[in-house]
A and B are shown apart, each in its own frame.
Chain A
């Protein structure tokens, strides 16, 4: 079964404590991305990756890091989380990198930064 798996699904933590949200896919997709979803703002892209070792900033990259050492994994790293990063996060993947392909989403990770 095609899957995009995010972990953890829920996390409550404190300001400044480094955390990593993992994303793994079993579809051999080249393109992976991270979004945050906030009420009234829809989904905003944080970072994306066209393939292994190829990453780039999206619309709201401040405070986040990513890496793409393997094709299947695309972790999102918050080195020093702050309360304004409290949000619902989604990892998405798609085949290729063109805009004509639909994206496949994980079930989301709800982060609360106190």
Chain B
């Protein structure tokens, strides 16, 4: 069955420290991959997406993600977090054929330690 796993429910990092959020997927073929961020009281906002080509993709707010086909992973990274990065982060996968088949992970809540 197709699935998306975000193994970390909650992560706390110090401001200025580096960050990596994990995402693993199970899919029949290489899907389209997304990371979204949800700030408190708001909807999800697209951070970045991967379709093909360079496996390291850059997104907004200084985030990047690396697609590793051999590990079925699409981990999100940021070299130095800011207090404003505290939010919930969702990984999502979708086939080319239809947006209706999109699957979201269960989310990782990020807290920032001053």
Chain A positions within 8 Å of B34 at CB level: 102
B9 at the interface (CB under 8 A from A): yes
- Number of A-B pairs, beta carbon distance below 8 Å: 71
B90 at the interface (CB under 8 A from A): yes
Q: State how many angstroms separate the Cβ of A21 from the closest Cβ of chain B.
A: 14
Partner of B43, one of A58, A99, A100, A106: A106
Binds A, one of B11-19, B66-74, B95-103: B95-103
Chain B positions within 8 Å of A103 at CB level: 44, 46, 99, 102
**4 more CB-based (< 8 A) A-B contacts, given A97-B98, A99-B102, A108-B41:** A96-B99, A98-B96, A103-B44, A106-B43
Enumerate 19 A-B pairs (CB-CB under 8 Å) in ascending A order.
Answer: A33-B100, A41-B106, A42-B105, A42-B107, A43-B104, A45-B102, A48-B99, A56-B100, A58-B100, A90-B44, A98-B98, A99-B94, A99-B95, A99-B97, A100-B51, A103-B102, A105-B44, A105-B45, A107-B42
